[in-house]
Structure 1
Amino acid sequence: MKQWKTGLVALIAGVGMAGVAQSAELDMHFQPLDKYRDLGRTVTEREDIQKALSAHFERLAAERLPAGQTLRIDLLEINRAGEMDFRRRLPDEIRVLREITWPQLEFSYVLLEGGRELRSGKASLSDMNYLHGSSARYNDGDPLRYEKPMIDKWFDTEFGRKAR
């Protein structure tokens, strides 16, 4: 009887573990946050943008890359869409979007599996047409709503489209 209970517990634990999906990992690195062209003006804003950018890359890696792989991203430069209107003072500053202030993102990446490099490169992303609808799937309050579609497109090109 004791062996039967032990076997049943092991079976239940095994079934429970089968439902836990493993996913790829993200290893994201930043320079000192004040070194970027346009990560944000205040320390708090730069930290918030850093967290949001990391979370977006992490979500994409988890959704699109096989378990056991690690995507290392080294953010080299970011120039967010638009530019700040500095005629106003904090907290009333606004970001002004114009045709000539498109978002740009530059990073290097390495895809690893078991410590072995599968692929690497440098990406320079920009979207000169950012004002014409590419951000429609992101909330208007999202501070990276113009940068995220560029990252999504890069993931599609580099690693394949997300299964729907």
Structure 2
Amino acid sequence: MKIAKTVVMLTLALSGAWVSAAVEVSFVKPDQFIDIEGANFRRQDDYLEALQKHFQKVGETTLPGKDLKIEITDVDLAGRVEPRRNGTDIRILRDRADGPSIQLRYVVSENGVELRRGESRLRDLAYMTGFNSYSDGDPLRYEKRMIDNWFKQEFGPANAK
């Protein structure tokens, strides 16, 4: 009986710690972001939702068992939105001045104890060079690569806490 009770208590304790780990992503005043305009038939909310999901996915993989809260305070997508003659807008990628940028604040905690807090400005001025594992058809491929690189640099093995 004692063994069964101990197993149940241990299972609950472990599952509670695992379940509590989460990645929360919020946007602070997104209507004031530098550039999150829709183009190519996409809405601003579609971009924000895709960025949110990507931060959550990478955060859960990079920091398993830890809670991560991210507040995104500014977004500037790669390229610039320009009008076309037919009345639709298109995002044009030209040079490094058009590189993606995301400003954010974050807090990492575990079991309610804050481990780390910080602010970062993610930038990728060389966004059109090098290998990108995301499809050419992904409208956020440059931003996703930048986010992946930030997680590696900020929370990789050399910076583990």
Q: TM-score range by the shorter chain?
A: 0.7 to 0.9
Cα distance in 1 between the residues matched to 2:72 and 2:58: 16
Match of 1:147 in 2: 143
Contact 1:23 1:65 in 2 (8 A): no
- Distance in 2 separating the partners of 1:101 and 1:32: 22
- Alignment TM-score, normalising by the size of structure 2: 0.77
TM-score of the superposition, structure 1-length normalised?
Answer: 0.76
Runs of 4+ in 1 over 2 A off after TM superposition: 21-24, 86-90
Q: 2:128 aligns with which of 116, 128, 131?
A: 131
**How much identity, in percent, do the aligned residues show?**
38
1:72 equivalent in alignment to 2:69:
yes
Higher helix fraction (1 or 2): 2
Q: Which amino acid letter does the alignment assign opposite residue 141 of structure 2?
A: R
Q: Aligned ranges for residues 27-46 of structure 1 at < 5 Å?
A: 27-41=24-38, 45-46=43-44
Take 1:142 and 1:106, find their aligned partners in 2: how far apart are those partners? 21
Which segments of 5 or more consecutive residues in structure 1 lack a partner in the other structure? 1-6
Taking structure 1 as reference, are residues 117 and 89 closer, same or farther at Cα in structure 2, changes over 3 Å only?
Answer: farther
Matches of 2:103 and 2:30 in 1, distance apart? 15
CA RMSD of superposed structures (Å): 2.6
Output the CA distance in 2 between the equivalents of 1:22 and 1:114. Answer: 11
Which consecutive residues of structure 2, in runs of 5 or more, have no partner in the other structure?
none
Structure showing greater Rg? 1
